[in-house]
Structure 1
Amino acid sequence: MNPLRSFAIVLIVAGALALAYGGFSYTRDTHAVDIGPLQLKVQERSYLHIPIWAGLASLIAGVVLLGSARKSR
């Protein structure tokens, strides 16, 4: 499998996942207070929204690359 075809498949999968889920959430640890032996840690939960146009663009680009990889064979 050539690298162009592999990249096209990755783009198609990423675009499909972006359209299906619309984003992902992650947890970030922050160091809030450190007073002597006492430590206070805060976990912030954030959500990263992936726009629909980005998912569609990735999906379309993957299909176009996959089509061009097959023509060059």
Structure 2
Amino acid sequence: MKALGIILIVIGIAMIIIREVNFTTEKEVADLGPIELNKKEQKRVAWPTYAGIGVAACGVVILVAAMRKTT
């Protein structure tokens, strides 16, 4: 459980610092024998700051609960 709490804290901090991720996908439009037509699309995944804070807070709660359970 401690590892899960630490991982969630790190992911939450990363979500606060990095607010969006951009990536490109390639989609096949048509395949006409030896000729192939592809289209590249740029996509963006964004999340609000409070989502990162929430994930980090859940990690802290799990970490504290794991610490109390072992003592």
Q: TM-score, normalised by structure 2?
A: 0.89
> Within the alignment, does 1:10 sit opposite 2:7 as a pair?
yes
Q: Distance in 1 between matches of 2:60 and 2:16?
A: 15
Q: Distance in 1 between matches of 2:29 and 2:64?
A: 52
Q: Distance in 1 between matches of 2:3 and 2:24?
A: 31
The answer for unaligned runs of 5 or more in structure 2 is none
Q: Distance in 1 between matches of 2:66 and 2:7?
A: 14
Q: CA deviation at 1:36?
A: 2.5
Deviating beyond 2 angstroms after TM superposition, the runs of 4 or more aligned structure 1 residues are none
Identity %: 27
| Equivalent runs, 1:1-73 vs 2, <5 Å | 4-73=1-70
The answer for unaligned runs of 5 or more in structure 1 is none
SS at match of 1:61: helix
Aligned pair count reads: 70
Q: Distance in 2 between matches of 1:35 and 1:9?
A: 51
Q: Distance in 2 between matches of 1:66 and 1:23?
A: 27
